[in-house]
């Protein structure tokens, strides 16, 4: 179980003699490994003490890895073939940002290279290995590139038990006059929690960070224990710690931001999707006075019903959850899952809550949102619930995403005091149904009437 998420095959060389794989067995991080298919002998090609293998550059003809990249805070490349080291050096100096080779010519002498930056869209270059020069081909979105956008900063935050949490934060443009990475005054802040929970946040352009920073908020993303892409110790430290030590990591990161005078402690919101939505519910139920409000997008409220609702064809995924979270088929497991379920702590909620849900979600079914909304209504606690009949686990249709972002920023403005753009025509083409609580979001009742929505 400890190595299941971080050990898998990548490919075989053209001769059919060597298997390349990412492998964390017997080590703390996922290394790039070559395995001789005839003898079974393995050798480590590249590894990193704090991060697992992320991507590679391979020889187009032989499929032999030439370089490997690892991402702790930022991308780090290791040359596996000495002949590639000058290319990596040239690419590091050719443009800003983290890069990856996405295409090669037949002779492998020309590469198409994508550079990801934090304050704009990706840029694509044609790199010639003969003269080691890179020529800009195009920018993914020239209109967006013309805007002055916010920079994302990376930092390692120490959890209370010493675990290192690779984290990222963004400040609004103009809020840091001396450029030291700290705002001139503490800001209203949004803690943006990633899903999974076995995923991770990375440095680079983030639509959510840019949008929220544009509205005057500092934005903080934390790779809490249970996040993938780092050490096995960090990943496995999340086992059976949902709503406990995983939540403590988020609190420690907020505490760091307050100590650094980045965040105004009275104006911090918690927001996320899937596990991030669950984290928002935990934030409002377990630590009801810490956050000014919460935004839960397709987050589970009852871990027992969540695990019992997984479809049959999710056999392997279900086994992972049972092992790492708890088994609802055992008394011990049911006790653990019940204890960590926000549904059973609804009475503790003191702050505003916005919930977004897709009716066709098979991962976190609609009942997860329905039941916590019903429980809050039974206790006469205010909640705003937005349902999308044509969405699943997240909002994919652009019209639906725009509509929920419009509602969210008005909701956050009420809680945190930031500016917001009136909803206006944001509901055009969207399928949203506001099941309850429209009156708690500025301008929402009027916008629904104007759009002819329920």
Q: Can you give the pLDDT at residue 311?
A: 84
Nearest to 205 by CA among 148, 115, 120: 120
The count of C-alpha atoms lying within 13 angstroms of the C-alpha of 344, restricted to the half-sphere facing its C-beta, is: 13
Question: What is the C-alpha to C-alpha distance for residues 36 and 21, in angstroms, rounded to an integer?
Answer: 11
The first and second tokens of residue 360, run together, are 């066709």
Q: Where are the domains of the chain?
A: 152-451
Which residues of the chain have a pLDDT value below 50?
none
CA angle 155, 257, 154 (to 5 degrees): 15
CATH class assigned to 152-451: alpha beta
The first and second tokens of residue 235, run together, are 């990943």
Question: What is the C-alpha to C-alpha distance for residues 191 and 336, in angstroms, rounded to an integer?
Answer: 26
Q: Is 169 helix (H, G, I), strand (E, B) or coil?
A: strand
The count of C-alpha atoms lying within 13 angstroms of the C-alpha of 394, restricted to the half-sphere facing its C-beta, is: 10
Q: Yes or no: say if 423 and 406 are a contact pair by the CB < 8 Å rule.
A: yes
Pairing verdict, β 53-58 and 42-46: unpaired
Q: Can you give the pLDDT at residue 454?
A: 80
Tell me if residue 119 is catalytic.
no
Pairing verdict, β 110-116 and 123-128: antiparallel
Q: Yes or no: say if 214 and 192 are a contact pair by the CB < 8 Å rule.
A: no
Could you say which of 341, 393, 431, 440 is catalytic?
Answer: 393
Question: What is the C-alpha to C-alpha distance for residues 15 and 234, in angstroms, rounded to an integer?
Answer: 37
Q: Can you give the pLDDT at residue 230?
A: 96
Could you say which of 228, 274, 301, 431 is catalytic?
Answer: 274
Question: What is the C-alpha to C-alpha distance for residues 251 and 254, in angstroms, rounded to an integer?
Answer: 5
The residues, ordered by sequence, that sit 6+ positions from 142 with a Cβ below 8 Å of its Cβ are: none
Could you say which of 87, 249, 252, 361 is catalytic?
Answer: 361
Residue 292 Cα distances to 184, 220, 377, angstroms: 22, 15, 20
Q: Can you give the pLDDT at residue 312?
A: 83
Which DSSP letter does residue 394 get?
Answer: B
The residues, ordered by sequence, that sit 6+ positions from 1 with a Cβ below 8 Å of its Cβ are: 320, 323, 324
Question: What is the C-alpha to C-alpha distance for residues 308 and 82, in angstroms, rounded to an integer?
Answer: 52
Tell me if residue 63 is catalytic.
no
Nearest to 96 by CA among 111, 118, 78: 118
- Burial (CB count <10 Å: 0-12, 13-18, 19+), residue 43: exposed
The first and second tokens of residue 226, run together, are 């249970």
Nearest to 323 by CA among 186, 234, 226: 226
The first and second tokens of residue 54, run together, are 């992320």
Question: What is the C-alpha to C-alpha distance for residues 143 and 121, in angstroms, rounded to an integer?
Answer: 10
Tell me if residue 274 is catalytic.
yes
CA angle 7, 8, 12 (to 5 degrees): 135
The string of pLDDT tens digits covering residues 150-178 is 999 999 999 999 999 999 999 999 999 99
The first and second tokens of residue 398, run together, are 């652009």
Chain Cα centroid distance, residue 141 = 22
Phi-psi region of 121 (alpha: psi -120 to 50; beta: other; left: phi over 0): beta
């Amino acid at each position: 179980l400890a190595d299941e998420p971080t050990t898998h095959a990548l490919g075989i060389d053209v001769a059919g003699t060597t298997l390349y794989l990412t492998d964390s067995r017997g080590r703390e991080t996922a290394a790039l490994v070559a395995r001789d298919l005839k003898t079974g002998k393995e050798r480590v090609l590249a590894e990193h003490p704090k991060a697992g293998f992320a991507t590679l550059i391979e020889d187009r003809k032989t499929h032999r890895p030439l370089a490997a990249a690892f991402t702790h805070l930022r991308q780090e490349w290791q040359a596996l073939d000495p002949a590639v080291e000058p290319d990596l050096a040239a690419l590091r100096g050719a443009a800003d940002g983290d890069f990856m080779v996405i295409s090669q010519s037949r002779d492998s002498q020309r590469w198409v290279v994508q550079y990801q930056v934090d304050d704009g869209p990706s840029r694509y270059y044609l790199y010639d290995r003969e003269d080691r020069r890179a020529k800009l081909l195009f920018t993914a979105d020239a209109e967006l590139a013309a805007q002055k956008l916010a920079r994302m900063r990376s930092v390692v935050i120490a959890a209370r038990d010493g675990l290192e949490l690779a984290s990222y934060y963004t400040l609004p443009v103009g809020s840091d006059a001396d450029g030291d990475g700290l705002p001139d005054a503490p800001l209203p802040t949004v803690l943006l929690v990633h899903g999974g929970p076995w995923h991770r946040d990375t440095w680079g352009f983030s639509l959510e960070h840019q949008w929220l920073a544009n509205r005057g908020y500092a934005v903080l993303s934390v790779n809490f224990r249970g996040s993938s892409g780092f050490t096995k110790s960090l990943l496995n430290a999340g086992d059976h710690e949902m709503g406990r030590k995983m939540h403590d990591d988020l609190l420690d990161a907020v505490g760091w931001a307050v100590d650094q005078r980045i965040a105004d402690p009275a104006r911090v919101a918690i927001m996320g999707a899937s596990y991030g939505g669950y984290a928002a519910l935990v934030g409002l139920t377990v630590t009801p006075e810490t956050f000014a409000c919460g935004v839960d997008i397709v987050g589970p409220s009852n871990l027992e019903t969540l695990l019992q609702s997984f479809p049959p064809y999710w056999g392997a995924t279900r086994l992972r959850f049972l092992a790492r979270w708890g088994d609802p088929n055992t008394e011990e497991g049911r006790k653990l899952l019940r204890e960590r379920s926000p549904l059973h702590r609804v009475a503790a909620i003191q702050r505003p809550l916005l919930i977004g849900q897709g009716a066709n979600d098979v991962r976190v079914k609609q009942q997860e949102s329905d039941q916590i909304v019903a429980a809050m209504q039974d206790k006469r606690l205010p909640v705003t619930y937005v349902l999308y009949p044509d969405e699943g686990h997240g909002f994919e249709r652009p019209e639906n995403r725009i509509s929920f972002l419009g509602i969210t920023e008005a909701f956050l403005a009420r809680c945190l005091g930031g500016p917001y753009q009136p909803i206006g025509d944001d509901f055009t083409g969207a399928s949203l149904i506001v099941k309850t609580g429209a009156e708690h979001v500025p301008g929402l009742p009027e916008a629904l009437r104007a759009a002819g929505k329920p």
